[in-house]
Amino acid sequence: MLLATVIGSFPRLENLDFRDNILLAVESQIKAGINLISDGQTRADMITYFAEHAKGFQSKNGKWHITDRIEHDGKSIAAEDLGWVKKYLKEKYGGKAPLLKGIVTGPVTMVMSGLLKTKVYKGYRDPELYNDMGQFVNTEAQLQLEAGVDAIQIDEPYYSVGAPMDLAREAVRIARKNVKKPIHLHVCGDITKVFDTLLDFPVDVLSHAFAGYPVNFNVISKDKLVKAKKKLGVGCVRSDTPELEEVPSVIELLRKAIELVGKENIITHPDCGLRGLKSDKIAAEKMIRMVKAVKEVK
């Protein structure tokens, strides 16, 4: 069977505490048949998770400001949660436990989500700003690896809406340093203008949305992936609508991906994180239907 994973986030129920929300996310993924799971990222949004541990980031009036040089403070609530999940999986499932993926918001998205309020950096195109953010991501990745994750995903939604790709590539190179586990780079949205550039990034999997953005099929090919020594993460159910896909339609999408790049070169996942769906039941059903399609596809 094709490797089935998730992009990360899962709906959070307000009547549950953090650990119970994590358990809900984890068990929903396992029951659906996901074999590379996340912890559900139920504590906070994708910026707050990491900005809280970034020296140089300060929250003011509901917005993050970059007020000084960026450094990691050496702590990680994400790593603590992942370590707890890893222990839970080992105790409950033993050798049948699924793989666990750690997730870090990427350098460009972190930078672009902060208001630059310091003279330490010369502006939003200062290479030093991205280098420091890349080192921050590397430190976070190392902490998550120490917690026992089997892969790291770097989330970079800003790539598809405009980003300094030369600086982005160097930041990912720094973020990748000494990371021996597979790295997935997730870029949602329309990636037709950046996909060929991403082939040169030092990552193992390029992960994109195809259910909501079928235009992305126009730029992928087996030759490109093989030459770049990468696999393709194929988003095959939408994460921006509660409407449930019929299994045959998911199979059709996966067959198209297989025809273009080869079954051996793809993994499967929803287009993006599932938290925006609000309903844990809808999120779970989308994963169930996705895995059913994965099992049936030839």
List per-residue pLDDT tens for the chain, 298 residues long: 799 999 999 999 999 999 999 999 999 999 999 999 999 999 999 999 999 999 999 999 999 999 999 999 999 999 999 999 999 999 999 999 999 999 999 999 999 999 999 999 999 999 999 999 999 999 999 999 999 999 999 999 999 888 999 999 999 999 999 999 999 999 999 999 999 999 999 999 999 999 999 999 999 999 999 999 999 999 999 999 999 999 999 999 999 999 999 999 999 999 999 999 999 999 999 999 999 999 999 7
Closest CA to 40 of 81, 75, 4: 81
Q: Please report the pLDDT score of residue 251 as a whole number.
A: 98
Torsion of CA 136, 102, 84, 56, to 10 degrees: 20
First to last CA, the chain: 9
Are the C-beta atoms of residues 208 and 191 closer than 8 Å to each other?
yes
Tokens 């990748």 found at: 176
Structure tokens at 36: 């590379």
Residue 65 burial (C-beta neighbours within 10 Å; 0-12, 13-18, 19+): middle
Bridge partners of 101, per DSSP, are: 151
Q: Please report the pLDDT score of residue 298 as a whole number.
A: 73
- pTM, entire model: 0.97
DSSP 100: E
For 171-263, strand residue ranges (E) read 183-186, 205-209, 231-235
Structure tokens at 221: 């090919």
Tell which CATH architecture fits domain 18-296: Alpha-Beta Barrel (3.20)
Are the C-beta atoms of residues 288 and 274 closer than 8 Å to each other?
no
The whole-angstrom separation of Cα 185 and Cα 225 is: 14
The secondary element (H helix, E strand) that includes residue 88 is helix 77-93
Structure tokens at 5: 């994973």
The whole-angstrom separation of Cα 224 and Cα 235 is: 18
Closest CA to 273 of 8, 13, 3, 22: 8
Q: Please report the pLDDT score of residue 222 as a whole number.
A: 98
The whole-angstrom separation of Cα 104 and Cα 140 is: 7
Q: Please report the pLDDT score of residue 3 as a whole number.
A: 94
Q: Please report the pLDDT score of residue 95 as a whole number.
A: 95
Q: Please report the pLDDT score of residue 28 as a whole number.
A: 98
Bridge partners of 116, per DSSP, are: 66
- The C-alpha angle with vertex 71 and arms to 65 and 72, in degrees rounded to 5, equals 105
Largest CA distance in the chain: 56
* 3-class SS of residue 194: coil
Measured in whole angstroms, how far is the alpha carbon of residue 52 from the centre of its chain?
19
The whole-angstrom separation of Cα 114 and Cα 119 is: 14
Do the bridges between strand 183-186 and strand 151-155 make them parallel or antiparallel, or are there none, so unpaired? Answer: parallel
